[in-house]
Amino acid sequence: MGKAQVAVIIPVYNEEENLPELMRRLMPVMQSMKKSFEIILIDDGSRDNSLEILKGFTQSAQVKVIELVRNYGQHAAILAGFSVADADIIVTMDADLQNPPEEIPKLVKVMEEGNYDVVGSIRKGRKDSLLRILPSRVINMVARKITGVSMRDWGCMLRAYRNNVVSRMIQCHEHATFIPALATVFAKRVTEVEVEHEERYSGKSSYPLSKLINLQFDLVASFSDLPMRLIMYGGIMMSLFGVCFGIFLAIARLVYGAQWAADGIFTLFAVLFVFVGMQFFALGVIGEYIGRIYVEARKRPEYVIEKVHSKTT
């Protein structure tokens, strides 16, 4: 099969109940576009029956299934998909049908007509729990700040990328990455369209709050040194505060005498705790960076492909 016009990349982690419905809806959409296409599904080390179901899909010539050795996470899985995709326009989406496949032609159309490099999407009437939406708000705000690109919704994976942006992304070999933000490094013309959002078809999200916090840190740490700078400013403010406080204590000591100063010892303890706490926090943030430097320095592959299944193999 030669170069396709459109490739769809779908990472799959424990989605056995969603997969048949996904393909039932995706296939007709792709066929209706009247373009050559390929669908690349990446099994990100699923523990359920997903891989077997995926292999079944390779009966049709347009479907490729990438079997990863183990679970590497959604963004690494997408990178693996990118490495195999061979198309002009590459669309990513989730397997849980929260992004309706019916929106794909819209993204492709906008990309072609406006000659964009990246077309993102804004989830209209987002169907997620508040606990899931609030962290996303923060992520969106931070992402806008640090990439300097004013996209509204970064978390929605239903996105279209131009082939040149994708090939530059694969060359990055970053572990801690956030694909929509990474893409902005290489994309010149970026836009967003509104898309529908649905409840997860079946199963539950594999993003608990802890994973979201980690993802947030990946995003911030791999694109800016903002946290480190904040700590520096905080440190300066705290020193200034400490100096002022010292002067205040000295004056109070002169005015009210030694008795008062001795009684103030507990205040000092309180101050000490604040400072020690801040120091630990600062160390923690620095540790996050060092941890990531360590991961990058080891130069392990971000993912390992066990096998690519397709009709011919």
58 or 136: whose CB is closer to Mg ion?
Answer: 136
The rounded distance, in Å, linking the Cα atoms of 292 and 289 is: 5
Binds 165, which of Mg ion, ligand UDP, none (CB < 5 to 8 A, cut-off by type)? Answer: none
35 or 132: whose CB is closer to Mg ion?
Answer: 132
98 or 147: whose CB is closer to ligand UDP?
Answer: 98
Q: Is 98 in the site for Mg ion (CB under 5 A)?
A: yes
Angle at 263 between CA 257 and CA 268, to 5 degrees: 110
41 or 117: whose CB is closer to ligand UDP?
Answer: 41
Q: Is 96 in the site for Mg ion (CB under 5 A)?
A: yes
Binds 36, which of ligand UDP, Mg ion, none (CB < 5 to 8 A, cut-off by type)? Answer: none
50 or 58: whose CB is closer to ligand UDP?
Answer: 50
Q: Name the CA radius of gyration of the chain, rounded.
A: 25
Sequence-ordered alpha helix ranges (H) in the chain = 19-32, 50-57, 74-84, 104-114, 130-147, 163-170, 179-186, 209-223, 226-256, 258-263, 265-298
The rounded distance, in Å, linking the Cα atoms of 69 and 46 is: 10
In the complex, minimum distance from the CB of residue 135 to ligand UDP, in angstroms, rounded to a whole number: 10
- Partners of 11 in the β-ladder: 42
Question: Which of 93-101, 145-153, 174-182, 235-243 is the region at the interface with Mg ion (rule: CB under 5 A)?
Answer: 93-101
In the complex, minimum distance from the CB of residue 94 to Mg ion, in angstroms, rounded to a whole number: 5
Binds 83, which of ligand UDP, Mg ion, none (CB < 5 to 8 A, cut-off by type)? Answer: none
Question: Which of 89-97, 100-108, 238-246, 279-287 is the region at the interface with Mg ion (rule: CB under 5 A)?
Answer: 89-97
Strand order in the sheet with 190-196: 190-196, 118-124, 159-162, 87-92, 4-12, 37-43, 63-68, 305-309
In the complex, minimum distance from the CB of residue 82 to Mg ion, in angstroms, rounded to a whole number: 20
36 or 216: whose CB is closer to Mg ion?
Answer: 216
Whether the CB-CB separation of 195 and 98 falls below 8 Å is answered with no
In the complex, minimum distance from the CB of residue 199 to ligand UDP, in angstroms, rounded to a whole number: 10
Closest Cα to residue 17, out of 77, 94, 96, 127? 96
Residues interacting with ligand UDP, by CB under 6 A?
11-13, 15, 44, 71, 73-74, 77, 94-96, 98, 205-207
Closest Cα to residue 183, out of 216, 159, 218, 213? 159
Tell me the site size for Mg ion, rule CB under 5 A: 3
Whether the CB-CB separation of 160 and 90 falls below 8 Å is answered with yes
In the complex, minimum distance from the CB of residue 133 to Mg ion, in angstroms, rounded to a whole number: 12
Q: Which residues bind Mg ion (CB under 5 A)?
A: 94, 96, 98
